[in-house]
Structure 1
Amino acid sequence: MTESNRGIVFLDRDGTLNVEVNRLCSPDRLELIPRAGEAVRRLNHAGFLAVLVTNQSIIARGECSEARLEEIHDRLKKLLAEEGASLDAIYYCPHHPDPDPDPDPESDAAIARFKIQCDCRKPGTGMIKRALADFSLVSSDAWMIGDTTVDLKTAQNAGIRSILVHTGYAGTDRRWTVQPDHEFSDLYEAVEFVISS
């Protein structure tokens, strides 16, 4: 970790940075949660890397293309930039091992490569490990902030500190029995805690 880099904060996307929209596949439907842009800007100014890690099984489901997902992330970057904030990297998992109980044979062939077991789909740690390697950091330099137990389990599996925010699902998904290290009302309050720690 360099003097100008105080660590890395992994951010979930839906329900943490932007308003939760089930299977978001339209850039026009993406809107930031209040104070989320300000929170990312605070991380930027405090010397933390702000890195997005998001499961996007809509690609494996054939509901959204990678090109469309890039448009969504371009809108996210634009909205953050309007608030003087930026993400240092975006990592996404397009996979899902069992994405569609009633597949369409035509689209199924085009997306077959995404219908796999992988280590990047949260709570797997592939995205976390890749980012830590890309930025030459270790798990003790890292935090994970998210709105679901999947995010908390990801942090636990990766050996990093976790924060649950009470936006989006606010931990009510109950997919994993896991407790956060800390809880805050929103991303801004979580970031203020990280910066002061």
Structure 2
Amino acid sequence: MTKELSRIYPLRRSGNEPLHSNGHSLGVTLLDFWRWSSSDLISNATRGVLAEFIVASALGIKLDSVRDEWGAFDLETPEGITVEVKSAAYIQSWSQRNLSSIMFRVPKTRAWNADTNVQEKEPRRQAQVYVFALLAHQDKASIDPLNVDQWQFFVLPTEVLDARIRSQHSITLRSLERLAGQAIPYDALREAVRRAVREKTAG
């Protein structure tokens, strides 16, 4: 691989950067783009990224870097624990006849290395711990994805998912509750993730 085609490491942006024509500002900024593209926090795609951000903040991860969209796992805690975040919600942006059924996708994947552009041969779950983030609020008029009290969190060591006899591709909320127990609030999430790794090590 030539140096000119090596991996690009994104710089953290401020939002003040202008859309421009060869240096001539066109009067709109990157912040305008973010507002235009990402203000619908209930949208499935944006909600998933927001869930990662919320979990990262709960786990004490520094937020002064840039999210790695193509990473083998979503987050790494200050203690070095690798975490995968999955999100779901009862309420969607569109008109609904009923609240959505809750199911999380948990397939094994073939990790891809952005530095080498090489993908692993065998699929597996890449992180040590899974955090399932459920936007549990059920009233459209008052839903606020920025309110962490409207979220519920469930934590499972990856080995528990790997050992499941039922589907290896997805898990329902009922099955998740049987495996993980009661939901964990935002302020207890960091200790729950640590405990999941400690229990795995002790076992």
TM-score strictly above 0.5:
no
If each structure's strand is expressed as a fraction of its own residues, which one has the higher value? Answer: 2
If each structure's helix is expressed as a fraction of its own residues, which one has the higher value? Answer: 1
Could you state the TM-score of these two structures normalised by the residue count of structure 1? 0.28
Structure of higher RCO (CA pairs closer than 8 Å, 6+ residues apart): 1
